[in-house]
Amino acid sequence: MKFTPKILPDLIKAVSGIIEKNAEEVTALDQAIGDGDHVTNLQRGIAALEKQSSELSELEWAPAIKKIGMTLLSTMGGASGSLFGTLFISMSQGVGDKIVIDQKGFADVFSQGVEAVKKRGKADAGEKTMLDVLIPVADRMKGDVDSAVEYSELLKNICQTAEQGMESTRDMLATKGRASYMQEKSIGHIDAGARTSQLMICAIVIVLNEM
């Protein structure tokens, strides 16, 4: 499968819908071990992207992804705003002048974005953050692309890996972000950023699966 930015409005709509649907749950997660604002931060960013939807679909990949990152960075706020912003801005650098992106191209670019998030957050896997979803998804995608896993299987694995990563944060001790102030009390709660990352990834997978 090869994609152009024409798919962006559908993806943004799906992401917006899934976050809206799960907003209360995510707020409760961030209230338990953070300050409860994660979903409103994210919804502010997504609302800004919805306004830019048709404009984004007319751009080429690198400027479109860069614009998404800049918009998230300037509208979201919170730790997650700079991290999601960094993810997309770094991905746009990896895209270069590609007009269409295939599975392999996307897996490489996504991994590059996740590496930038690690640097920006000074964090790695196992610290109870969004990275516990992003890192395993990036690794799984690269592995599956390298071993030529069939497309629908690859999509299924992406969502499944995201769900496992999200679940894995429950038993972790938070060592980064606000949740780290809770120390041992952070154990037993799923990380809000891991949950929203998983929800968005699985919503995107559903759209791609139907195309």
Torsion angles phi and psi, residue 4, rounded to 5 = -115, 170
- In the bound complex, what is the minimum distance in angstroms from residue 44's beta carbon to Mg ion? 13
Residue 85 binding target from Mg ion, ligand ADP, none, CB below 5 to 8 Å by type: none
Pick from 37, 108, 127, 132: which binds Mg ion (CB under 5 A)? 37
Q: Which of 79, 101, 159, 202 binds ligand ADP (CB under 6 A)?
A: 79
Instruction: Determine which residue in the list 64, 191, 198, 204 makes contact with ligand ADP, applying CB under 6 A.
Output: 191
Shortest Cβ 194–ligand ADP spacing (Å): 6
Counting contacts by CB under 6 A, is residue 113 touching ligand ADP?
no
Q: Tell me which residues in 33-62 interact with ligand ADP (CB under 6 A).
A: 34-35, 37-38, 41
66 near ligand ADP, rule: CB under 6 A: no
45 binds Mg ion (CB under 5 A): no
Q: Which residues bind Mg ion (CB under 5 A)?
A: 30, 34-35, 37-38
Q: Which residues bind ligand ADP (CB under 6 A)?
A: 30, 34-35, 37-38, 41, 78-80, 83, 121-123, 129-131, 176-178, 191-194
